[in-house]
């Protein structure tokens, strides 16, 4: 992460399924999503954007834009703002709150990430 702090991420059932599939292809690799050109490097940060372009989303959606969609969806579901910000690995801007609030909301984020995983899965089923 940008701050070089540990960022624990609770994974949804759907994310774990993707990782299980990827393991079949990358079990001996250093990275789950490794570069196809350089075997000892991770996939390029722009690979997801290229995939979105290839899928017809040029000038409509970026990989970073998916974070905005997630934030909007979770806010509409009335999820606690601090939990959403923790899911996005956004730091606390208010220095006083930052000094006192050391929570990473890990337990709360488990259900939030599953809610998001279920939403994405439903979008796939409905071809949205």
Tens-place pLDDT, residues 35-86: 988 888 999 999 999 999 999 999 999 999 999 999 999 999 999 999 999 9
Q: What is the pTM of this model?
A: 0.87
Does 28 lie in the same domain as 67?
Answer: no
In a domain, 86, yes or no: yes
Please check whether residue 11 is in contact with residue 19, taking contact to mean a CB–CB distance below 8 angstroms.
yes
- Say how far apart CA 63 and CA 10 lie, in whole Å: 20
Residues spanned by the domain of 64: 57-128
Residue ranges of the alpha helices (H) in the chain? 13-26, 47-54, 63-76, 81-87, 95-100, 106-125
Quick one: 96 and 67 in the same domain? yes
pLDDT confidence of residue 3: 65
Same domain for 98 and 68: yes
Provide the token pair at 82.
Answer: 């601090």
Q: Are 112 and 13 in contact (CB under 8 A)?
A: no
**Same domain, yes or no, for 108 and 64?**
yes
Dist CA 43 CA 33 (whole Å): 6
């Amino acid at each position: 992460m940008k701050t070089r702090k540990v960022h624990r991420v609770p994974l949804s059932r759907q994310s774990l399924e993707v990782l299980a599939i990827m393991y079949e292809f990358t079990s001996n690799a250093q990275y789950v999503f490794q570069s196809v050109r350089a075997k000892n490097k991770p996939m390029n940060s722009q690979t997801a954007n290229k995939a979105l372009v290839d899928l017809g989303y040029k000038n409509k959606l970026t990989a970073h834009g998916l974070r905005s969609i997630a934030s909007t969806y979770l806010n509409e579901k009335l999820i606690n703002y601090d939990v959403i910000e923790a899911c996005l690995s956004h730091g606390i801007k208010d220095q006083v709150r930052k000094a006192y609030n050391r929570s990473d909301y890990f337990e709360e984020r488990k259900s939030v990430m599953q809610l998001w995983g279920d939403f994405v899965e439903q979008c796939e089923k409905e071809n949205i």
